[in-house]
Structure formats: C-alpha cells, structure tokens
Amino acid sequence: MIFIASFSLAAFESFFSLFVDHKFQFKPSDIAITITGGAIFGAVSQDILFDRLIRIWGEIKLIRYSLILSALLVFLMTVVHSYFSILLVTFIVFVGFDLFRPAVTSYLSNIAGNEQGFVGGMNSMFTSLANISGPILGGILFDIDINYPYYLATVILALGIVITLFWKKPANNSSNEVRANVAN
C-alpha cells in the first residue's frame, strides 16, 4: 500500500514543475508558491486532523478516504485551468497524501505485532522503490503526453482504494501483546 501512495506522490511531485510550466506557463515564483503553500497546508492539516480522523474513522477508513481524495485531485490537475483552481487542487492534494502516510504507518504498526522492525523496513523499502520507479515511468509518460503521469497516478491510487476494501481491522490482541512485552 505504501508503494501505491509513494509511487503516485513521486509521479505527482516529480513532474509538477514541468507540468505547470508546459500547461499553464507558470513562472518559478508561481511554482514555489504552489509547492510551498501545498506543503504547509498539508502539514498543518495533518497536525490538526490526523488524530481526530483516526479516532472517528480508524486507520483503514482514513487510508481509503485519503486515497479517494488524492485520486480525485490528481485527476483534477489534468482538467483545471485557472490559477486559483490549480492552487486549490494542489494545496488539497497534499492533505490527502499527508494524511495517508501516517495512517498507513499506524496501521502497519498495529498489525505487525512482534515484527515491527521487519514491517518498518519493508515500508521503507517500498517507499524507496516507488520514489525510483514513479519518476522513471512518469518521465516516459510525460514525453508522450503531459497528462499521462497524472492519469497513471490516478489509476494507481484507485487500485489502492480497491485494495482497502478488502482490509480487515486488526485484532487488538496483537497490539496489546506488543505493548505488554515492551512494558516488561
């Protein structure tokens, strides 16, 4: 699952500057405002919303809803045209990605039991693989059509949504056993 989000985020971020330059003739200052504003908005939203949403929905639903939000907004990047709509979509897409990553990490931690180190390592490995493969495949697609990296990211995110439909809530016993073992 982390591969899916990291791949999509890498495809989104890697080509954002080229995308908005080619499609909307953004200047470097416009690009800086958009990326910095999106990052700040995403981080602040994560800080304000993450704990509340985990308590309300739990990790699986937060992951699913973050993927839905991200998929819709990544796709919207291909159809928006005004400066304000590009800013709005970019700012909010970072919220989806910034809520997704800690939710996946929390979910994996809860289901890992005594294998948290292994699961954390696999999480890191899949993030790295996605950060390599996302820009490579995105670059190939960008040369064909500037919208294609975003279409691919949307499809990959949609695949992640389908995967979350089959997830089950982890049993509380394993996480309680880990907490008890750590306490001893």
Structure tokens of 114?
A: 């005594």
CB 171 within 8 A of CB 108: no
pLDDT of residue 110: 84
**Are 165 and 64 contacting, i.e. CB atoms less than 8 angstroms apart?**
yes
Which of 13, 8, 4, 11 is closest to 135 using CA atoms?
Answer: 11
Q: Walk me through the domains of the chain, giving residue ranges and CATH numbers.
A: 2-183 (1.20.1250.20)
Q: pLDDT at position 181, please?
A: 44
pLDDT in tens, 101-143: 889 888 888 888 888 889 888 888 988 998 899 899 999 999 9
Sort residue 58 into left (φ over 0), alpha (ψ -120 to 50) or beta: left
Q: Write the pLDDT tens digit of every residue in 60-84.
A: 999 999 999 999 999 999 999 998 9
Residue 168 gets the label, from left (phi > 0), alpha (psi -120 to 50) or beta, of beta
Q: Residue 144's CB: how many other CB atoms inside 10 A? A: 9
CA distance 23 to 134: 20
**pTM here?**
0.84
At residue 64, the 3 state secondary structure works out as helix
Instruction: Indicate if the pLDDT at residue 13 is higher than 60.
Output: yes
